[in-house]
């Protein structure tokens, strides 16, 4: 007969999850904070929200594991990459279960997880070991596709988030130094090239490209005026026409030229572990896809980034 004071055995702590949460609270949260003014939100408010929403907790642990995978030790890297993918899959599964619901209590968790998953989608290919068959354009297309899947969900919750505790995450900070504003000349050059292509080919998608170039101009203007580059980089993915994404997937030369100009924005984020050399690799691969005439349209891109395209 059990003693009256007997208690059920305590559940063992998951040491790996504790390790990942410590990684988040000491290091990883800084890498998703666009500046010091919002660090406290990512360090304290978001983990507190995750205690109520397991799908967000899995997202936090996924990105923390991927951050720990930034190591030269192959065995450790593989372990953390596998762990990150497991948590990412659990986060996506949980997000799917709440995506059709409009409960206000889900808004903050859904919004922050969407941000974490966008960063994760850039980070995973950057950390994976390079392979001979690796294609940066295909990887970026996947990033665009996975990111844009959350558009409808974010549109429905953005007002609620903007009126709550996470409001600072949606506010633009223009306190950064201005960059030299040479991008407007580049946008004018793209617009002229688009008009010339339309005169040469009646089937050229001029209006589609006009809309894409216009969005690129807005983005480059924000960066040159000191806007938050991280926000600008993600917003462009949401705002470009879906048909344009298909055109760059098909390796249409003019679509690739425009994409190389966008790469200037993500190249400026290369100091973040989760972005790394995405921009440079993208510019180089685009250059390899274009002939000499088209490559001449990348002169501003190369000047702005210092990247080099090897001759074919």
Query: Residue 156 has which token pair?
Result: 């429905």
Domain locations in the chain?
Answer: 16-170, 182-305
Q: With a cut of 50, say whether residue 240 has pLDDT above it.
A: yes
pLDDT in tens, 122-167: 999 989 876 767 799 999 999 999 888 877 677 778 878 878 888 8
pLDDT value at residue 2: 46
Quote the CA–CA distance of 223 and 126 in Å, as a whole number.
Answer: 23
pLDDT band at residue 11 under the 50/70/90 scheme: very low
pLDDT in tens, 23-52: 999 999 999 987 778 899 999 999 999 999
**H helical segments located in the chain:** 15-23, 29-32, 39-40, 46-52, 54-68, 74-99, 104-127, 136-148, 151-162, 183-200, 206-224, 229-239, 242-249, 253-267, 278-289, 292-295, 299-305
pLDDT in tens, 42-85: 999 999 999 999 999 999 999 999 999 998 898 999 999 999 99
pLDDT band at residue 257 under the 50/70/90 scheme: very high
Higher pLDDT, 104 or 192: 192
Of 271, 272, 240, 260, nearest to 301 by C-alpha is: 260
Instruction: Tell me what the pLDDT averaged over the chain comes to.
Output: 87
Place of tokens 């998703």: 32
pLDDT in tens, 259-294: 999 999 999 999 999 999 999 999 999 999 999 999
Quote the CA–CA distance of 171 and 41 in Å, as a whole number.
Answer: 13
pLDDT-above-70 percentage for the chain: 89
Mean pLDDT for the stretch of residues 172-179: 54
pLDDT value at residue 10: 44
pLDDT value at residue 128: 86
pLDDT value at residue 49: 94
Its sign, for the CA torsion 260, 261, 265, 271, is positive
Place of tokens 């690799």: 281
């Amino acid at each position: 007969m059990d003693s009256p004071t007997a208690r059920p055995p305590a559940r063992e702590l998951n040491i790996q999850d504790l390790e990942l949460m410590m990684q988040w609270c000491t290091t990883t949260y800084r890498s998703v904070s666009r500046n010091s003014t919002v660090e406290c939100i990512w360090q304290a408010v978001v983990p507190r929200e995750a205690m109520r929403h397991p799908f967000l907790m899995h997202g936090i642990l996924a990105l923390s594991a991927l951050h720990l995978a930034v190591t030269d030790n192959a065995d450790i890297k593989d372990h953390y990459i596998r762990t990150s993918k497991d948590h990412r899959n659990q986060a996506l599964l949980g997000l799917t279960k709440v995506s059709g619901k409009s409960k206000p209590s889900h808004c903050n968790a859904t919004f922050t997880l969407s941000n974490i998953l966008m960063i994760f989608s850039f980070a995973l290919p950057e950390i994976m070991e390079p392979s001979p068959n690796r294609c940066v354009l295909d990887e970026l297309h996947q990033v665009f596709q996975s990111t844009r899947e959350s558009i409808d969900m974010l549109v429905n919750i953005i007002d609620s988030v903007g009126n709550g505790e996470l409001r600072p995450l949606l506010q633009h900070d223009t306190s950064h130094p201005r960059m030299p504003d040479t991008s407007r000349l580049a946008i004018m050059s793209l617009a002229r090239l688009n008009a010339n292509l339309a005169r040469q080919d009646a089937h050229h998608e001029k209006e589609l490209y006009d809309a894409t170039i216009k969005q690129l101009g807005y983005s480059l203007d924000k960066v040159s005026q000191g806007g938050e580059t991280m926000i600008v980089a993600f917003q462009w993915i949401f705002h470009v026409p879906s048909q344009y994404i298909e055109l760059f997937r098909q390796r249409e030369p003019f679509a690739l030229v425009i994409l190389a100009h966008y790469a200037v924005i993500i190249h400026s984020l290369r100091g973040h572990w989760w972005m790394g050399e995405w921009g440079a690799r993208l510019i180089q691969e685009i250059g390899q896809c274009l002939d000499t005439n088209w490559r001449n349209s990348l002169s501003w891109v190369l000047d702005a980034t210092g990247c080099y395209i090897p001759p074919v």
